[in-house]
Every structure is written in C-alpha cells, then in structure tokens.
Structure 1
Amino acid sequence: MRQPTFLRFPTRRITTLALFSASCIVGRLLFTWIPNVQPMSAILLLLAFYGSYADTLIVTIVSLLGTNLYLGMGSWTISQLLAFSSIVTLFHFLSKITLIRRHTFLQALIAFFCGLCYGLIVSRVEVFLYQLPSFWAYYFQGLFFDVLHGSGNFVFYLLLAPVFKRVFKPVIHPSKVE
C-alpha cells in the first residue's frame, strides 16, 4: 500500500518553528524593562526575509499569544496581530527586490520604518476599538515609543542578520559540486 507523501509538518519544521517562537518569546520577555524595544520584531522580519511567509505567520501568532499570555491579554492582542502580520507581509514582499536583498543596512533601515508602521497600525486599530475621538492625538502620544520600537528593530536586525544568513544558507550537496 502506498504511503501519503503530503506530510506538511514534519518534525524538523515543527522544531524549527518552535525554536523561532521560543526565541521571540524569550527575547520579548527579556527586554520588557525597555519600552517597545524587543528582538521579537527583528526576528520576525528576518524570518520573513529569509524564511517562508507561512512559517513567519505561524511564528508570529504563536509568539504573540505566548508573550501576551504572560504579559497580559486584551484587545491590544488583536491590534498587535494585525500590525505584526502587516509589517511581516510588507517585509516579505520587499525581500523580493534585488537592491534590498543585497544591502543589510537598507534592510535594517526598512526594519526601522516597519517599527513606525507597526505603531501606526496599532494606534489606528485601538482608536477604532475604543472609539476614541481623535486618532492623531492618540498616535502622537505614542510616537516616542514607536521610534524606540523602530530603533530596536534597527539594532537587533543588524545584530541578528549574520546569524540568519548562516542559518538559511543554501545547502550545496557534494554531488552537485563540479
């Protein structure tokens, strides 16, 4: 009898997703004492750049729920999920551009702007959920924290990019080397 060949979640993939999720959760919890500075965003952006889009979304959801179970769950979980998904999607599509693919500093700069975009999306969703009278007043009050988030993304991206390049380095089989 023929065995099915459509194993979508082999052990190696599950283990890899669990390790990335754990690194996001631990990184976010280690840096809770610095407002909005966390390696979780940079890890997700790097995963969106070097890994697959589906795996990145899985790690995003697991990491966000894991950290919010510990730090507190609320309506902000919805806005965080929408914001993380948006910036991961944006970053994944930008990774297809050759100029961006070649320059790590440019990627880190885009990661900085993704931190600002994250804050903009969270603010927009929160204003909608809470029916606040003024979006711009709410957004500008949190702009300093968005800049901190973007700065953290920039620094962590530059620190973690060499590790991700090495982890996702294409494997060359000895039989294919001439």
Structure 2
Amino acid sequence: LMPTAVLAATAAAGRVLFAPIPDVKPVSAIAIVAGAALGRRSGFVVGAVAALVSNFFFGQGSWTPWQMYAWGLVGYLGGVFYDRGALERGWALYAWGFISALMYGAILNGYYVLGFVRPLTWPAVVAAYVAGAPLDIVHGIATAGFLAVIWLPWGRAIRRVVAKYDLAAR
C-alpha cells in the first residue's frame, strides 16, 4: 500500500508543480510506471488518487470522477501492457505514453461534450475534439518525455522495494 500511496502523492505533487505549463503533467507517466512495477490495480489507484488529491489544489468538480477514471485507466492499462511484455521496447513504451494521453484527452473531451456542447450535433462534437487536440498532443509528448526520464530509475527502485519487502501482489 505504501509504494502506491507514495507514487499517487508524487503524481499529484507533480501535477501541481507543472501547473503553469498547460498539459505538461507527469501523472500519466507515473501511473504507467506504477502499473508496470506494482501491478494494474496499483496503476489504477495511483492515477485516480492523483487526480482526486491534486484537485484539492485545482478545485473539485463534476470533472473530477472523469479525470480519476481516465488517469486510473492509463495506469491500469500500463500494467496490462507490461504484463503482456508490450512495454519492453522503448518505442512501444513511448508510444503507449503518447497514446495514453490521447485516450485521457478523449475521455475528458467526452465529458466536455456531454456536459457543455449544445446543441449536441456531430459537427459540434468534432469541433470540440479538434479544439482539444493540440493540448492532447502536448500531453502525449510530455508523457513520453517523462517516461524517458523516470522509467528505468523509478522502475528499478520500485521493483527493488517490492522484492525486498515481498510485496508481489500483482
């Protein structure tokens, strides 16, 4: 439980630290590392708790459960892909980091469309997603960049803690 809580707190703090830079946040990368090193459930919890806790700084609202689900899903799928050996190659890891940010953006853009786009027409939905695409792409690039920096050292350290304290509960 402690490694999961520490990673969730680190992800939340990282989101707050990078607040001045739109969509450059380490949350997705940290959730992916947590899912890979601690298991898919921990990956989900890290993403979800990071969204909840960081929103105490940014403000809670009807978007918070959507963020919790989206970042939780990023971490969960990171664990699934790692278990299947899909993240062993660097390009696959960075591709998942980029795609995970697009998936996060698609979910949050869906929240925006369902909650605020009136009248709800296909052109309006497409316009909403197109308007969010540049920020989703920035988020994807940032996630891949954060993974490039933290994947090896953090993964190695977390796996060492898991082995040392026999925490293998994948």
Same fold (TM over 0.5): yes
Shift of 1:97: 2.7
Alignment of 1:107 onto 2:93: yes
Shift of 1:160: 0.3
Alignment of 1:130 onto 2:116: yes
**In the alignment, is the contact (CA less than 8 A) between 2:25 and 2:142 conserved in 1?**
yes
For the residue of structure 1 that corresponds to 2:94, the secondary structure is helix
For the residue of structure 2 that corresponds to 1:65, the secondary structure is helix
Deviations 1:80-101 (A, max 9, x none): 1222133223322222333x24
- The structure that has the greater radius of gyration is 1
Q: Among 97, 106, 115, which residue is 2:84 paired with?
A: 97
**Runs of 5+ in structure 1 lacking a partner?**
1-12, 173-178
- Could you tell me which residue of structure 1 aligns to residue 27 of structure 2? 40
Residues 1-178 of structure 1 mapped to structure 2, 5 A cutoff: 13=1, 15-98=2-85, 100-132=86-118, 133=120, 134-167=124-157, 168-169=159-160, 171=163
Q: What letter matches 1:65 in structure 2? A: L
Deviations 1:48-88 (A, max 9, x none): 12212222222223211110011111122122122213322
For the residue of structure 2 that corresponds to 1:95, the secondary structure is helix
Q: CA RMSD in A?
A: 1.9
**In the alignment, is the contact (CA less than 8 A) between 1:123 and 1:135 conserved in 2?**
no
Of the structure 1 ranges 136-145 and 124-133, higher mean CA displacement relative to structure 2 is found in: 124-133
What is the rounded CA distance, in whole Å, between the counterparts of 1:22 and 1:110 in structure 2? Answer: 23
**In the alignment, is the contact (CA less than 8 A) between 1:79 and 1:126 conserved in 2?**
no
Q: What letter matches 1:75 in structure 2? A: S
What is the rounded CA distance, in whole Å, between the counterparts of 1:92 and 1:127 in structure 2? Answer: 29
TM-score normalised by structure 1 residue count: 0.80
**Runs of 5+ in structure 2 lacking a partner?**
165-170
Q: What number of residue pairs does the alignment pair up?
A: 158
What is the rounded CA distance, in whole Å, between the counterparts of 2:18 and 2:90 in structure 1? Answer: 24
**In the alignment, is the contact (CA less than 8 A) between 2:8 and 2:47 conserved in 1?**
yes
Q: What letter matches 2:17 in structure 1? A: L
